[in-house]
Amino acid sequence: MSENWFCEYPTPGSGFQFRYTEALARERSAFQKIEVFRSEDFGIVLCLDDAVMVTERNEFAYHEMIIHVPMLTHPNPKRVLVVGGGDAGALREIVKHSSVEKAVQVEIDQKVVDMCRKYYGWVNPTYDNPKVELIIGDAIEYVKTTNERFDVVIVDSSDPIGPAEGLFREPFYRDVHRILTDDGIVSSQLGSPFLHHPQIGKLISMYRKIFPIAHLYTTYTPEYPSGMWGLGIASKRVDPALRAPAVFPRQSNAKKGAAPLPPNIERYRELAPRLKYYNPQVHTAAFILPEYVRKSIDG
């Protein structure tokens, strides 16, 4: 890293860099290197082990899509588990849903939580929400041993190296399947479809061994390598690729005797004023993959 520039190298032959105006924090926890920068274009940036995790300017594109696609697919999500996600961006989006009664987060690194509490304005109000339970510990062990059941599980992990490596393996997802309710859904971050498509193809194949429904979908955020980012989703019963909230007139304007609207439409309407990226059209389009990506997943 040269003076006033941070560079992430997702492959030996490519990199992403941004200029920062101030290095706010540099610390090494028991698990990873943690850095926080104030940048010219992205606001406050959190990096773990030399990889960008969160940028103040663009984080909503990732967090809204990893959360609202599964949450608005599920017919009535009440209990949600977040694996990782110490920046609380995923939790912030979850507790926007009025149906949620409890949101549990298991984050392995207390220092990541502490750093994010200091530098990101949404973090403290989110963790202070009475619906939220924060557990500092090993999510692999938690998922293996807990007797709790969840409607939605979000795997908001860092890359598959170091402390997050086990979160990309089959035993973990078999344990996730066990703790999900009958309509349960899991979503996870998988990497860049352009740079990591062999890895993503293997992960989607693994999901399909465990769940009857599994897809890759995408979001776009410039601070992640290549801009296009892959998210995995697997479901026991409801197909998220067919479940985008339809944009219909409000029921009060419908013809007399018409069937009530599916509940996820009304939940979307509650959320819509507070969303920056997600909408029903984006939900549908996220499952339409470029041909080279589709072939890497489906063969």
Residues with catalytic function:
156
Structure tokens at 27: 């610390």
Structural Rg of the chain based on CA atoms:
19
Cβ burial, residue 193 (10 Å; 0-12/13-18/19+):
buried
Q: Which residues of 238-250 are buried (b: 16+ CB within 10 A; e: fewer)?
A: bebbebbbeeeee
Number of H helices, E strands in the chain: 10, 12
In the block, which residue shows the tokens 């492959």? 11
Classified as helix, coil or strand, 34 is: strand
Q: What is d(CA 288, CA 194) in angstroms, rounded to the nearest whole number?
A: 15
